[in-house]
Chains A and B, each alone.
Chain A
Amino acid sequence: MHEMSLAEGILQLIEDSSRQQSFARVSTVWLEIGQLAGVEVEAMKFCFDVVTRDSLADGARLEIIALPGTGWCMQCSMTVPMTEVFGECPQCGSHQLHVTGGTEMRVKELEVA
């Protein structure tokens, strides 16, 4: 969802960082994206290319580190893997799950010059 706004957010973080860290070019950007964050990786790559055109990150490579989805099953009282936000517990089939991980959308690090 809304990958264009996210790509703009990424560029903004890069530009802020370029002032603090004094770099002029970014060659690679590593993102951590949770499986449950609702981010379409292909759409994100496309939007990132569009948004960074003529910026200090023009042509930069986008590397996505996928983080697994996890939830707390209220029936089993344990952490279980989740692949969808409305998923069911793989142990007991309950939908009484509280998402505990996998919604991250973070800029992790940059390779800069």
Chain B
Amino acid sequence: MCTTCGCGAGEVKIDGEHAHHEHDHVHADGTTHNHDHDHDHEHAAGAAHAHPHAHAHQHSYVPAHAHAPGVSNKRMVQIEQDILSKNNAYAAENRQHLAERGIFTLNLVSSPGSGKTTLLVKTIEMLKGGQRVAVIEGDQQTSQDAERIRATGAPAIQINTGKGCHLDAHMVGHAMGKLELSDDSLLMIENVGNLVCPAAFDLGEAYKVVILSVTEGEDKPIKYPDMFRAARLMLMNKCDLLPHLTFSVPRAIEFARRVNPRIEVIEVSATTGQGMDAWLAWIETGAAAARGQRQDTVDSLQRRIAELEGQLAARSS
């Protein structure tokens, strides 16, 4: 695995092609290859002051406590940065790009085998003729899921994470560039089947949607609380099987709300179509908000242009 960006160098593939990255490598002897000039700046907590311009800014100081003789060149460097800050910066970039185009994006997360892909195929089929959908599929290996999506006619791209257990915002940014996304459309990101790691990685989505199938344990929300806390909506899938199971829907909901009091819940069955209308209505509410936001931005830009044209006309006449 690549120790510079954690991308699983040579292993991450987007639709079968290796994802290319530029790397800066600093070696133990201090030699740096591939210099870039970052203009990040970092502050100590409490040293809050606004910088209108970006320049490298880190604080370092010689520690007050004594060191062994001969190592007096030691000093302290304050970093004060979130470990996931790189990922979060890529996610913010993705989110802005999606917002500018009015694209409503969902990050679908669950254990393997919860029926995510089947649910997605059914959703796309039911949206046919209405909302346009594109899909980013994440799996460790194979492009079978992307092929299942493409069979519905929707554009899909497969990211193979190799050994990676989750998608990150950098990979998703690359995949977005390769997909032909239309304005005011829907982008569904099917994450790697894993209820742990994807919780921590923001991809730039509007919401995470966690899928819990009723053939799993109803206590999963408290066993894997991070994921249920990160999600806005829980889809309870395979509800057509409830008569054959001891799974208690109210208990599962209670467990989910214990972790995340605000989580919304919709019971669905991708096989029988039960609850699918409520799920599609939920999507439409979010998609309408994304479209509305883009329209507002366009409107305000047009007003600004009209204003400037007015000013220009006044000066040139």
Contact = CB atoms under 8 A, between A and B. Distances in A.
Contacts of A95: 257-258, 261
B127 interface: no
Interface stretch (B82-90, B231-239, B271-279, B283-291): B82-90
Contacts of A20: 38, 40, 56, 58
Contact of B24 (A10, A19, A106): A19
A55 interface: yes
Interface string A54-72: 1110100000000000000
Main secondary structure of the interface of B (DSSP, over half): loop
Interface in A3-25: 4-6, 8-21, 23-25
Contacts of B85: 9, 13
B27 interface: yes
B226 A1 contact: yes
A85 interface: yes
Given A18-B26, A23-B77, A1 B196 contact: yes
Contact of B28 (A13, A55, A104): A55
Interface of B: 1-6, 24-30, 32, 35-36, 38, 40, 42, 56, 58, 60, 63, 71, 73-87, 164-166, 168, 196-197, 199-200, 221-222, 225-226, 229, 255, 257-259, 261
A103 to B, nearest CB: 9
A113 interface: yes
Contacts of B225: 84-86
